[in-house]
Amino acid sequence: MSQNALRAADPASPEVMSKRAWWLVGLNILVPGSAQTLAGNRRFGRFAMGLSILFWILLAATIVAALVLRGQLLLVLANPIVLWALAAVLGLYGLLWVVCTLDTVRLSRLVRVRPASRAGVALLAIVALVATGGAAFAGAAFAGRAAHVLAEVGSNTIQIIGPDGKPIQVGPFTGSANVLLVGSDSGDGNPAYGERGEALNDVTILIHLSTKSQSATAVSIPRDLYVGQPACRKPDGTTVPAVQQARFNTALSRGGLSCVVAAVQQLTGLTIPYAALVQFDGVVAMSDAVGGVTVCLAAPIDDPYTGLKLPAGANTLQGQTALSFLRTRHGLSTGSDLQRISNQQVFLSALVRQITSGNTLGDPNKVLGLADAAAKNMQLSTQLGQTGTLVSMALALKSIPLERIAFVQYPPRPPTSTGRA
Q: Summarize pLDDT for 81-108 with one digit per residue, the tens.
A: 989 999 999 999 899 999 999 999 888 8
Spatial distance between the Cα atoms of 179 and 212, rounded to a whole number of angstroms: 16
> What are the residue ranges in the chain where pLDDT is below 70?
1-10, 171, 186-198, 280, 331, 333-337, 357-362, 412-421
| Diameter over CA atoms, the chain | 105
Answer whether 247's CB lies under 8 Å from 260's CB: no
In the chain, the amino acid numbered 154 is G
Q: What is the pLDDT of residue 366?
A: 75
d(C-alpha 418, C-alpha 421), whole Å: 8
Cβ contact 200:187 at 8 Å: no
CA distance 401 to 351: 14
Using the CB atoms, write b or e for 59-91: b if 16+ within 10 Å.
eeeeeeeeeeeeeebbbebbbbebbbebbebbb
Phi-psi region of 223 (alpha: psi -120 to 50; beta: other; left: phi over 0): alpha
pLDDT value of residue 234: 82
pLDDT of residue 5: 57
Residue 324 CA to residue 220 CA, distance in Å, equals 19
**SS3 state at 248:** helix
Which amino acid belongs to residue 340?
Answer: R
277 HSE (CA, 13 A, CB side): 25
Q: Which fold has domain 160-409?
A: Aminopeptidase (3.40.630)
Using an 8 Å Cβ cutoff, are 344 and 336 in contact? no
What are residue 390's phi and psi, to 5 degrees?
Answer: -60, -45
Say if strands 176-184 and 274-278 run parallel, antiparallel, or are unpaired. parallel
**Domain boundaries along the sequence of the chain:** 3-155, 160-409
User: For the segment 234-254, what is each residue's pLDDT rounded down to a tens digit?
Assistant: 877 788 899 988 889 899 988
Strand partners, 296: 314
In angstroms, how far is the first alpha carbon of the chain from the final one? Answer: 87
Beta bridge pairs of residue 409 = 220
The confidence score (pLDDT) of residue 418 equals: 42
Distance in angstroms (rounded) separating the CA atoms of residues 197 and 184: 12
Total Cβ atoms within 10 A of residue 294? 15
